[in-house]
Structure 1
């Protein structure tokens, strides 16, 4: 099995305002730890051209699987609020151990914002 994967990471700034930007990462090693990948993405995003400054400076701290290639997509606009215990990536495990595979789409967000939104899932236009 190849350890190089293409992953799409949705940078979620606001759940209420559905404010997110997808960023594609190629040649991702699925055997790296969740912490290593989070550090890599934070560093990449902070210097990536074409991303608005609010996305570069945001305090992301948690990743969750949105969907896998060939799997069912959620009809939530930003990401599903279900199955956190299975889908939120846990520190200390590799991406592969968390179920991340080639063409997986991940959300990258601030857990405090997510918990607040989950308690009252209202969107604002």
Structure 2
């Protein structure tokens, strides 16, 4: 796709409370690095209209592929806890090398929150 990919970024504010917001990015270059894309998303959400302030100011630092176009979706409500070594995007890679393609959905979250949730995956109401 010459003019870029469509990537949905799921901003995860809380795993336990299932507090997340999907944000769609159009014309994403898959040749940019993971760090560059993270910075682009951070800059965008800081000023995006309609996004609640807790999401704008949150210290998101890690991305993980949650869904590929035409692939099976997970039954997890927020994000799958499996296959981190293959699905967490690594600094220094391009998005394409990390496995991101057109219509990929990625989760954006704080690694510390994810570690705590993964150790004790309970949801609160």
Q: TM-score range by the shorter chain?
A: over 0.9
Q: Which residue of 1 aligns with 2:65?
A: 65
Counterpart in the other structure of 2:79: 79
Partner of 1:89: 89
| Corresponding position of 2:47 | 47
After the TM superposition, list the runs of 4 or more consecutive aligned residues in structure 1 that deviate by more than 2 angstroms. none
What is the CA–CA distance in structure 2 between the aligned matches of 1:35 and 1:2, rounded to whole Å? 22
Does structure 2 retain, via aligned residues, the 8 Å contact 1:3–1:31? no
| Aligned-residue offset at 1:2 | 3.6
Tell me whether 1:20 sits opposite 2:50 in the alignment: no
- Residue 99 of structure 1 corresponds to 99
Task: Report SS of the residue matched to 1:37.
Answer: helix
Unaligned runs of 5+ in 2: none
- For 1:43-83, what per-residue CA distance to the aligned partner results, in whole angstroms no more than 9, with x for missing partners? 00000000000000000000000010000000000000000
Which residue number corresponds to residue 37 of structure 2? Answer: 37
- Structure 1 residue 3, shift from structure 2 partner: 6.1
Give the number of equivalent residue pairs: 125
Instruction: Provide the rounded CA distance (Å) in 2 between the counterparts of 1:28 and 1:108.
Output: 16
Find the residue that maps to 1:7 and give its secondary structure: strand
Query: Residue deviations 1:92-124, cap 9 Å, x none?
Result: 000000000000000000000000000000000
Aligned-residue RMSD, C-alpha: 0.8
Structure 1 gaps of 5+ residues are none
